[in-house]
Amino acid sequence: MSDYDFDLFVIGAGSGGVRASRVAAGHGAKVAVAEEYRVGGTCVIRGCVPKKLLVYGAHFAEDLKDARRFGWNVPDCGFEWPTLRDNVLAEVDRLEGLYKNTLDSHQVELIPERAAITGPHSVHLASGREVTAKHILIATGAWPVVPEIEGAEHGITSNEMFHLEACPRRLAIVGGGYIANEFAGIFHQFGSQVTLVNRSSTLLRGYDESVRDRLMQISMGKGIQFRFNAQLDKIEKMDDGTLCVHFKDGDPIPCDVVLFAAGRRPHTDGLGLENAGVEVNEKGAIKVDDHSRTSCESIYAVGDVTDRLQLTPVAIREGHAFADTVFGGNPRTVDYDCVPSAVFSDPPLAGVGLTEAQAKNKLGTVKVYTSDFRPMKNVLAGREERALYKMVVDATTDRVVGLHMIGPDAPEILQAAAIAVKAGLTKQQFDDTVALHPSMAEELVLLK
């Protein structure tokens, strides 16, 4: 008999926490997971999943317009935000149910309460219950950063965007990263006048420059407005409800909704880390070793709260590797090399491996191949938007070290191509593959 109530106590039922709970239970551990809000975490409840559904919903604006060029007699169509919003929220409810079923079917006890650590093996629940566990896993994710400016309370974060009463006529988005560009694309298609406000002149830091530039150029062409090198001063609420975003320099922007998309901070407030000597780094992220173990031997952490790579599939891998290591007798670590990622902007962009700049710094001599083309669907639709694919190759070994693309379905295409990059294939091996014609992806084996 164990001296503890549980073998594993997980705090946070998001992607990392649920995977770790399920796998640990599958290895025979007695597991409980505490969740103060909803099962599924950021990805399922207020992130990737509802966002992607909005992306699909938004794209109909262009598809319906383009359909006329393909012979369809499309009447003028109106868009009803409440219908899409409610259908998306219903889908989120359904998925949450599936996540709960998974926990249930693996005999994981779900405790719908806030939990805080009181020692290396103990947790206090909001109801007052004290619980002990041999191991504790922190999987509390991250939380949106709200800039500390006067009137910040008038702004909202991505958490609230999925619940808006109405589609804003004017939307100002603070930030130039993933969330900013994704919501800019979505709400522009819904008919909002979107202004993206960025503190520097660089969007999507970390992605390849050519691809970022192409997104900016296309976004501007569509009518999304940008305010670069903008220093926020305050947000003022006018008598008629209009929000006015003021800057240290330059004209204010009037709008109906201000969305803060200025990064996400590890979610550790009130977790009681100090009670068990769990250390955090200068960004507030929990410090962990390769096996996700914190500075306290019995406590582990996975996912966004560790700020390694804030991506759902990474959190899932970390949670799985943790459970296999601690409960499955199979110690393993996560390989962070060549993790593909995408921004579901309009059009979407995706990348894997080194950018051209990173490759030059790391390898010295690199060869770069690009294809800058107008997808045939865009040609017939009369759309000027061009796609851009870029391959970065180690000039010494001919190995493809980076692949970056923007254009229709770029994330779908890149996921498949990422296997080849991860496997270390050469440019010649790409070229040896016969093109699949006509497709956009065939550009990858025809790069000159």
Pairing assessment for the beta strands 6-11 and 130-138 based on DSSP bridges: parallel
180 binds ligand NDP (CB under 6 A): yes
Taking CB under 6 A as the criterion, the residue among 9, 99, 178, 430 binding ligand NDP is: 178
Report the residue closest to ligand NDP, judged by CB. 177
**What is the C-alpha separation between 228 and 226, in angstroms, rounded?**
6
* Segment lying near ligand NDP (by CB under 6 A), choices 193-201, 208-216, 366-374, 396-404: 193-201
Write down the number of H helices and E strands in the chain.
12, 22
2 burial level (CB within 10 Å; 0-12, 13-18, 19+): exposed
Site string for ligand NDP, 67-86 (x = CB under 6 A): --------------------
Non-local CB neighbours of 332 within 8 Å, separated by 6+ positions: 321, 324, 325
* Segment lying near ligand NDP (by CB under 6 A), choices 161-169, 261-269, 358-366, 416-424: 261-269
Between the two ends of the chain, the Cα-to-Cα distance in Å is 66
Amino acid in position 80: E
215 binds ligand NDP (CB under 6 A): no
Among 124, 163, 188, 437, which one carries the catalytic annotation?
Answer: 437
Does residue 108 sit in helix, strand or coil? coil
Closer of 144 and 168 to ligand NDP (Cβ): 144
Amino acid in position 23: V
Asked if residue 263 belongs to a known ligand binding site, the reply is yes
Asked if residue 52 belongs to a known ligand binding site, the reply is yes
212 binds ligand NDP (CB under 6 A): no
Q: How far is the CB of 95 from ligand NDP (least distance, A)?
A: 17
Which residue, among 410, 299, 297, 271, has the nearest Cα to 350 in the 3D structure?
A: 410
Asked if residue 179 belongs to a known ligand binding site, the reply is yes
Report residue 298 as tokens: 């019995």
* Segment lying near ligand NDP (by CB under 6 A), choices 66-74, 173-181, 238-246, 357-365: 173-181
Instruction: Supply φ then ψ for residue 158, to 5 degrees.
Output: -60, -30
199 binds ligand NDP (CB under 6 A): yes
8 burial level (CB within 10 Å; 0-12, 13-18, 19+): buried
Q: How far is the CB of 182 from ligand NDP (least distance, A)?
A: 6
437 tagged catalytic: yes
* CA angle at 263 for the pair 187 and 146, rounded to the nearest 5°: 85
- DSSP letter string, 109-123: EEE-S-EEEEETTEE
261 binds ligand NDP (CB under 6 A): yes
342 binds ligand NDP (CB under 6 A): yes
Taking CB under 6 A as the criterion, the residue among 189, 192, 310, 355 binding ligand NDP is: 310
Asked if residue 304 belongs to a known ligand binding site, the reply is yes
Residue list, annotated binding site for NAD(+) = 175-182, 263
Q: Which residues bind ligand NDP (CB under 6 A)?
A: 145, 147, 174-180, 182, 198-200, 202, 205, 261-264, 310-311, 341-344
- Active-site positions? 437
Residue list, annotated binding site for FAD = 52, 304
